[in-house]
Each structure stands twice: as C-alpha cells, then as structure tokens.
Amino acid sequence: MVGDARPTKAPMLKFDNRFLQSLPGDVNTANHSRQVHGAFWSRVAPTPVAEPRLMAYSSEVALMLGVSEAEMHAPEMIPALSGNGVLPGMETYATVYGGHQFGNWAGQLGDGRAILLGEAVTSNGRFEMQLKGAGRTPFSRGADGRAVLRSSIREYLCSEAMHHLGVPTTRALSLVLTGDQVERDMFYDGNAALEPGAIVCRVAPTFIRFGHFELFASRNETALLRQLVDFTITHYFPDIAKGYTDENERILAWFGEVCERTAKLIAEWMRVGFVHGVMNTDNLSILGLTIDYGPYGWVDDFDPGWTPNTTDAGGKRYCFGRQPGIAQWNLARLGDALSTLGIEPASLKAVLEKYETASGLAINRVYSEKFGLYQWQDADGDVMDAAFALLMESEIDMTIFFRALATAEGVEALRDAFYIEGQWLQAREKWVAWFARYTALVSEQNPTSEQELARVNRMRQANPKYVLRNYLAQQAIDAAHAGDYSKIAELLDVMRKPYDDQPGREAFAEKRPDWARTKAGCSMLSCSS
C-alpha cells in the first residue's frame, strides 16, 4: 500500500507479490523522474482520476482471475482498476528496464505509464496485474504517465483479439474511462489536443522484457543481472531450473527456450497478418508473448514492406516482412547481456543460430497450414512463393484471399480479395496458371473426399475470417468519442470467434474501405496511437 491508496474489504483476489519479495527495490520512495540504480522496482502510487467509469471488461479474463461478474461491478473494484484505490494484498510499483529503440541503445526506460498492482494467485496460475495509463512513475521521463481513450481501446481490443486468434499475448481485464482530459500530439507535428483519458488493466504471468536484462548488463550490475536471471528461470521456466545443475548450462538452455518461444510467436504474427510496429527490445516479452500494443496494424493488401508506424515509415525497420529478422536481432542483444555473466559468446551464438532454424520451421509450418498443405516441402515452397509474388503485384486482401482459398473451386473465388477490379482483370491469367498448379498439388496430397474435407477444416482454422482491422478499431474509437461505447463490446464479441462464419456479421470481414486509406488511426499511426 502506497500513498493515498487505501485497501478495500473485498476478498475477490489473493495476492502474493514475489517480485517485490524476492528482488531488491528502490530505497527512494519519492515519485519524480530519475535514474534508479541497484534496484528492480520502485514503489509508486497511481495518480487518482476524476470520475472513473468501467466502460468494458473481458469476462474471460475475469473468469481466469476468479472474479465474478458481480465482483467486477463491486464498489471496490472500479477504484482498484482506475488507480483510486487498492484491494487487500495489492502493492503498487513500477519496474526499471532499458532497451534498444530502433536499433539504438536508449539507456534506462522502465514502466513510464504502467503501474503494477501485484501478482494475483488463482486456481489458473499466477498473474501480474498492471494499470496502463495510471500516472507518473520515476521512469516517466517528464511525461504525464497517462493514456488516452483511443490508444486504450486499441490495446484492450487487440489483447483479447490476439488471444482468440491463438496468438500468445498479454491479456486485458478492463477498460476504464477516467473523466480526465489528457493532452496528446498524435503525430508529433505540433497539433496537440485534449483527449479523454482511459486506463487498461493488463494481465500476464509476468511483464519481464528483454530490456530488463539489458539494463543491468549495460551498467555492469552483474550481481543484479544474475539475480534476475535466476528469478526468471526459477519461477517462469521451472523445467529448466530443475533440469540443469550447472549455472551456465542452465542459462544457455533458458536462452534457447526464449529463442524458440519468440520464433513461434513471430510466426503466428505472420500467419494472421499482424504487424507490431515498434519491436524495440523493451517491447519483447521474455515469455514469448505479444506485449505493448501501440502503433500496431493488420495487413490489408498483402505487402511485406508495410508498416503501420509513421515513425518507421522511412526506414521500415519494423515492417511486416522484417519481423522475424528483427526478433533475431533483439535476441542477439539479449545474448550480449547474458555474455556479461561469463558465458562464452560462442556458446550464446550457437544457441542464437538455432533461432533461425526454429523461425524457419515455424514460418514454414504456419504457411503450410494457411495453404492447406500437410508439411513443408520444396515443391510446396515453390507454389507458395509464386502466390506471394502474385499477391505483391496487385492490391489483394491477405485475410480474404486465404479464407477464400480454403473452399475455392475455381480461380473466380479469389476475385473478391482484389481491391481494384482492373488489377484483377490484368492479373487473372497469371492467377489461372497458379491456381492450376496449386489445385494439382492439393489433389495429390488429398486424394479422397475425407482428406479434402479435413484439408478445408485445417485451412479454416489457420485463416481467420475476422481480424481486428485498423478501420474497425477506429470505428469503435470514433463511436466512443461520440459517447457510444457499445461498439467496443460488439467488436470484441465478433473477435471472440475469428474462425467462425458468424452469419449476420459479414460486415466485420469486409475489405478496408476507401475512406480508411488515409485516415489517421487506420493507415497512419504513431507511438502516441
């Protein structure tokens, strides 16, 4: 308990804050921006808000935490989810970490607008709860520590949408409107404006990032780095903790597991057409979860070079097609940090090389699933590469194309995936030739009707009909700004079953409309989005 935060009487959650108990904290309890040394965390109380209102919550996440619907609406809960109070056992704090941002070392970063509430112990496991937008911390670097409604809606919706797509992710319990106004310059172009403030309660087994390890290594705080590595392996990788007695071997095995989880995560991003937008090392989870939903986007027309982040528009460092390689680069920086523990760089390099293999296997697997093929073969790769080449020649909607391909009996079934009719007419003969190659390959692998049905079902489970398209999220945001919050719940409800047809909801599966091509929030996003 810190500051003015007073515990309530509601016993709805049980907390066991082992991060605070196991790792040293900041002796300075003042809440002002500063460099924090010799500690993993700083106690800090959320900044109270004027008029908190629960706009939305995920019933699935509440159930995971063991919180009932009635408890979500209890008088004690809204203060806890807005930073105006704490539940019994909650302890509020922010963690310190560093990171490489756009390839450059940024030094100390830390939880600048996220405040942890502690670790809830449930029948489903342990989960850290964190308020994003809860006010200043020692790591805010002069910022206000707040979040605006539009970015909070995007984080809330995408966290849950990704989970239902089967992509490893942090979760979102709640979305709270604060009643305060927050000043933001959305595109850093001198056009600051006041916007409604909001807070998302994020949930994950841990929010430890690559950058946590990097910071202590950069400061030569080897003892603290070793302590963090031991804590992480012991509590989040217990099989590795039990399986190795030699410390260096244990760390190398753990690093290999992080590499493998990251490879699988990025492959899932590629499968569903997700672009994170800002893959700095401080934005990668040590558990292989999608973390920090900022200027993310969903690929509409297939383009490996597309990035939703206007800050990245020139270099396209974090564009769709570069995500696997950037993950490898980030893992190399984690390896650099671990080398300061006395581990041979050659051993770390050998483990890192396995990422490339794991990434290739994972991506080949997900694309084989998308094309309805049993497993990766060289001949299959030729057919897939030919499809990708054709997809890049025209504006073709990635999600609609692959969904249609599952049941396509002729090439005309792919027509609706084209954004421009003239481009379809120009490319049709090329697609006829490709489709003949593809159907021949599919028929060879699925000679019976039972096998063909199984193939279609596999493809439909690999290729969602519904994804959180940028314009859909923006429509929910626009409605919320107008006072209509129902669109948030409706959109989330659609995203709960992304692989089902959902009759009557076809509008949520339509191509990007023309008005969204240049609209802020749809095609243009920034780290302030």
For residue 86, count CB atoms less than 10 angstroms from its CB and return exposed for 0-12, middle for 13-18, buried for 19 or more.
buried
Please give the Cα distance from 412 to 407 (Å, whole number): 12
Res. 5 pLDDT band, cuts 50 70 90 = very low
Q: What is the pLDDT of residue 174?
A: 98
Q: What is the pLDDT of residue 191?
A: 81
The percent of residues in the chain predicted with pLDDT above 90, rounded, is 91
Instruction: Check 26, 180, 282, 312 and give the catalytic one.
Output: 282
Exposure b/e, 148-177, CB count within 10 A at least 16 = b:
bbbbbbbbbbbbbbbbbbebbbbbbbbbbb
Q: What is the pLDDT of residue 522?
A: 79
Cα-flanking dihedrals φ and ψ of residue 14, to 5°?
-110, 130
Please give the Cα distance from 487 to 456 (Å, whole number): 32
Q: What angle do CA 445, 447, 448 make, to 5 degrees?
A: 130
Q: What is the pLDDT of residue 2?
A: 37
- Give tens-digit pLDDT for 423-438: 999 999 999 999 999 9
Mean pLDDT of the chain: 94
Q: What is the pLDDT of residue 520?
A: 80
Q: What is the pLDDT of residue 527?
A: 66
Cα-flanking dihedrals φ and ψ of residue 58, to 5°?
-90, 115
Q: What is the pLDDT of residue 6?
A: 45
The domain segmentation of the chain, as residue ranges, is 18-207, 211-369, 371-462
Res. 524 pLDDT band, cuts 50 70 90 = low
- Give tens-digit pLDDT for 387-422: 999 999 999 999 999 999 999 999 999 999 999 999
Q: 79: closest CA among 137, 12, 138, 21?
A: 12
Q: What is the pLDDT of residue 7?
A: 45
Average pLDDT over residues 461-478: 97
Q: Identify whether 230 is a catalytic site residue.
A: no
Residue 18 CA to its chain's centroid (Å):
25
DSSP 441-465: HHHHH--SHHHHHHHHHHHHHHS-S
Res. 11 pLDDT band, cuts 50 70 90 = low
Res. 9 pLDDT band, cuts 50 70 90 = very low
Helix (H, G, I), strand (E, B) or coil at 148: strand
Q: What is the pLDDT of residue 519?
A: 82
Q: Encoding tokens for residue 214?
A: 């990097």
Q: Encoding tokens for residue 447?
A: 């000679």
**pTM > 0.85:** yes
424: alpha, beta or left, given left = phi > 0 and alpha = psi -120 to 50?
alpha
